[in-house]
Amino acid sequence: MIRLDDDHLPWRDGMTVADLLALVPDGHQYAVIKVNGRYVSRPVFKKYMIPDNAEIRLIPMIAGG
């Protein structure tokens, strides 16, 4: 099981951030997320493995600077 913001989702072995975002409405909009407090950015979404029991935060970072 993983926690995504305030929801819980099933975890599976080998699940990547890209896999997770495919399950999220408008998941394609996210360029950065936090996995257990660490930033993971789009360039590595396809290879970053999510560990079981991970806490995920979707970061709506669009216009900072």
Partner 1 sequence: MKALNLNQIKTLEYKRPEIDRGYANQTLHVNVSNADMAIKPVSEEMKRTFVGGKGFDLWLLWQAVSAETGWQDPENTICIASGPMGGTPSYPGSGKSIVTALSPLTGSVIDSNVGGYFGPYLKFSGFDAMEIQGNADTEVVIYIDGVSEKVSIYEAKDLPADSYGTSTMLSRHFGGDKPRGVSVVSTGSGAKHTLMGCLNFTWYDPKRKHVRYKQAGRGGLGTVFAHKNVKAIVARWENVTMDGNRPADKDTLKTVAKCYSKEIVTLDPKQNEMAKVGTTHLVPIMNDFDLLPTHNFKFGQHKMAGLIGKEAYKDIFDPGFDGCWMGCTVACSHGIKNFIPLTGPYKGQTVFVDGPEYETIAGCGSNLGIFDPFTIAELNFYCDAYGMDTISVGTSIGFVMECFENGVIDKTHTGGMDIKFGNRDAALELVHQMGRGEGFGAIVGQGVRKMKSEFVSRYHADAAFLNDIGMESKGLEFSEYMTKESLAQQGGYGMALKGPQHDEAWLIFLDMVHNYMPTFEQKAEALHWFPMFRTWFSLCGLCKLPWNDIVPEDNKDTEEPAKVMKHVSWYAQYFSAVTGRKAKPDDLIAISEKVYNFQRIFNLKMGFGKRSQDVIPYRAMGPVTEEEYESRQERYDGQLTDEHGVDIEGKSTAEKVATLRKLREEKYETLKDAVYARRGWSPDGIPTLKTVKRLGIDFPDVVELLAQNGVTE
Min separation Cβ 64 and partner 1, Å? 5
Q: How many H-runs (helices) and E-runs (strands) does the chain carry? A: 1, 5
Cβ atoms of residues 28 and 45 within 8 Å = no
Rule CB under 8 A: which residues touch partner 1? 5, 26, 29, 31-32, 38-39, 41-44, 57, 59-65
Min separation Cβ 29 and partner 1, Å? 5
Q: Which is nearer to partner 1, 13 or 26 (CB)?
A: 26
Min separation Cβ 19 and partner 1, Å? 19
Q: Mention every residue, 6+ apart, whose C-beta is less than 8 A from residue 57.
A: 5, 33, 34
